[in-house]
Amino acid sequence: MKPSRLILTLSTAALAEGQTLSPRPTLRPSPYNPRVPFPNPAAAARTDKVCVVQAHGDGVTDDSFSILFAFHECNDGGHVLFPRGETYTIGSAMDWTFLRHIDIDIQGRIQFSNDTAYWQANSFRFGFQNVTSFFKLGGEDIWIYGGGTIDGNGQVWYDTYAANVYTQRPVLVGIDGLRDSVLSDLSLRFSPQYYHFVANASNVVFDNIDIAGASTSKNSAKNTDGWDTYRSQDVTIMNSVINNGDDCVSFKPNSTDMLVQSLCCTGSHGISVGSLGQYVGQFDIVESVMVSNISMHNASDGARIKVWPNAPSSLSDDLQGGGGSGRVRNITFEDMAIDNVDYAIEITQCYGQKNLTLCQQFPSPLTIEDVFFRRFTGKTSKKYQPLIAAFACSSAKVCGNIHATDIKVVSPNGKHQAYCLNQNAKNLDVECTSSYKGFN
């Protein structure tokens, strides 16, 4: 039955007083254009049909049915509006992978319920690590924007996870099979886990995204990566601000032709290739990645490549791995400003393992080649001084053509040293040393 009280279907000209549609964002890439042209909504017909979703607004009643109805009603050419000043409660898992040729204008606030038992039983599983999601977004030619907020109600999850590390925490934006689409001009708050998990996607742009959401209790917000890409190609992430507690961006297995630029990251674990080589028998690929024009503040790492050793190991009770293979190739990190970051650059093939002897006995077979770090500036934290970086590979056989040029980063005591293992020191604009500090 059509929920007429909760959705109004009308034309653009018939919007209620005070309601307006947000202009579709203009994408301004800098300093690089992506490999493929940005999605073009003009290529598919758009109508003046508008579906205005009205919220119950009591913070309890589930608005999911009305939202899903609006998406079906205005799919294939329409415009769904979440008006400014409204708060929508989502208490049901929804599959949005049917969407195509649609604008979703989020001006209000969308918040997920705090029913952790329901979400653990009903959220969507992605089959990688422990990733689940509140909803699953897919389809083609989808533009989501409007200046509104998507809120994961994360505090209850931070506290629940602290009591039980096997809690299945949903990511805030779960993407599966999205093509030729744009997400822009949005604020994301208090994700239980990653803010974005981008799987099986192609030609997707994230622009002007504002991410934040620290814990207000003694239990920290863990694993709150800004973006994780997985089995995806031609993803662009740009012009965004991220304040989180884990990777700012992470390229998981089979991420290719990625462009990440013009980001401000605070409190993160850096921009990371990996972790890779986690699963026995799997061949992980990350290649053709450009990361440019990044400011990194109060973080554990600036640019990082992290690979599991070729033996089982445990990073935490709910995250173990090792024994996989693969390749990392044609990766560039450039123009990164470092401010109170533990390591400006880190390459490790001993991820998740504090026993360096084990890593030496079971070196990773995953190859790392054609990697370029250039034009880094700033000052690291005191944590590993005098070291500013670590370039550690299992062997010279699996690492090659790694370059660090114009690295103007110093530790607080003015040193410019880096731990170098199985590297060609002539290619590294640092003072190499065999002294190692820290396990990552």
Residue 358 lies in a domain: yes
Among the listed residues 291, 299, 304, 440, the one whose alpha carbon sits nearest the alpha carbon of residue 375: 291
H-helix or E-strand containing 155? helix 155-163
Q: Would residue 35 count as lying in a domain?
A: no
Identify whether 81 is part of a domain.
no
Total number of domains constituting the chain: 1
148 lies in some domain: yes
Euclidean distance between CA atoms 345 and 174, whole angstroms: 29
HSE-CB at 40 with a 13 A cutoff on CA atoms is: 4
Question: Quick check: 168 and 130 in contact, CB under 8 A?
Answer: yes
**319 domain residue, yes or no:** yes
The reported pLDDT for the residue numbered 13 is 67
Q: Is residue 151 part of a domain?
A: yes
Please tell me the predicted confidence (pLDDT) of residue 440: 46
pLDDT at 227: 98
Expressed as residue numbers, the domain containing 323 is: 90-102+113-433
Tell me, yes or no, whether 191 lies in a domain.
yes
pLDDT digits (tens, 9 = 90+) for 320-331: 889 999 999 999
Low-confidence ranges of the chain (pLDDT < 70): 1-7, 13, 43, 437-440
Residue 1: the pLDDT is 36
pLDDT of residue 6: 58
Q: Looking at residue 178, which CATH number applies to its domain?
A: 2.160.20.10
Enzyme catalytic residues: 269
Dist. CA 165–CA 175, nearest whole Å: 24
Instruction: Please give the model's pTM, rounded to 2 decimal places.
Output: 0.96
How many residues are listed for the chain in this entry?
Answer: 440
Q: E strands of 298-398, at which residues?
A: 301-307, 313-316, 319-321, 325-341, 343-348, 367-380, 387-392
In a domain, 15, yes or no: no
The amino acid that residue 433 corresponds to is: T
